[in-house]
A = this chain, B = another copy of it.
Amino acid sequence: MKLYDAAWAPSPRRVRVYLAEKGIDVPRETVDLLSGEHLGQAYLAVNPRGIVPALELDSGEVICESAAICRYFEALHPDPPLFGTTPEQIGRIESWTRRVENDGYLAAVHVFRNSVPALKEHALAGAMPAAPQIPELATRGAVMWNAFVEGLNGWLDGRDWIADDDFSFADITALVTVDFARAARLRVPDRAEHLQRWYAAARARPSAAA
């Protein structure tokens, strides 16, 4: 088994934080995004979409998508559960994971990929066709981010973690999102006190260093 990993990028980090929380050790190979290794022949043979992470099983099968890789490991190693165990927990953890992805992570992606000078003609990730940046989409992403921060901050009033009493995959997703958003110059403002408290607690966990 081999995990194709990459420095800095949010999706590979989501898997690393998950594995650290579970205490699972997986052999890794780092793909160098800066030199374009993810778009080279060797990696495209692993994942034709040219995106990281990817998990190569001993059978040769490759599982892509960070959430799918984590769910694969969750099925192999159920404890401690990070996707919930009761139907209610499972539903609410998935619901909040999706909300963080669709409202927060996508907002940061819109800003980052449509404003960073190095991606001027490559606003779509991986092996997708070349796509010019759309400045208006970066603007829209900032609007989405503010709505996301406000909504999540209000929700966290009186709650330790996002989806359940315990830390879950929804918290991992939000931690990775907030840190990635800094690269797009999107912040959690000081006035978002509940979200700030949650963030301090999440990044204090040893897994946050993964």
Residues in chain A within 8 A of chain B (CB atoms)? 48-49, 55, 57, 59, 61, 63-65, 67-69, 71-76, 86-88, 90-92, 94-95, 97-99, 103, 123-124, 128-129, 131-132, 134, 136-137, 140, 143-144, 147, 151
- A131 partner, pick from B87, B95, B140, beta carbons under 8 A: B140
A67 CB to nearest B CB, Å = 6
Q: Tell me if B61 and A98 are in contact (CB < 8 A).
A: no
Given B69, B76, B91, B132, which contacts A72 in the complex, CB threshold below 8 Å? B91
Partner of A61, one of B88, B123, B143, B147: B88
* A68, B48: Cβ atoms closer than 8 Å: no
Q: For the complex, would chain A's binding face be called helix, strand, loop or mixed by DSSP majority?
A: helix
A87 x B72 contact (CB < 8 A): yes
| B-side contacts of A132, CB under 8 Å | 136
Nearest residue, chain B, Cβ from A72: B91
Cβ A63 vs Cβ B140 within 8 A: no
CB A59 to nearest CB in B, in angstroms, measures: 8
Please name all residues of chain B whose beta carbon is closer than 8 Å to the beta carbon of A69 when the two chains form the complex: 91, 95
**A76 surroundings in chain B (CB, below 8 A):** 87
Q: Separation in Å of the A126 CB from the closest CB of chain B?
A: 10
* Residue from A59, A72, A91, A134 having most chain B Cβ neighbours under 10 A: A91
> Are A123 and B140 interface neighbours, CB within 8 A?
yes
Q: How far is the CB of A138 from chain B (nearest CB, A)?
A: 10
CB-nearest residue of chain B to A94: B68
A61 lies within 8 A of B137 (CB): no
Given contacts A64-B95, A124-B140, A124-B144, 4 further A-B contacts (CB under 8 A): A61-B88, A69-B91, A129-B143, A136-B136
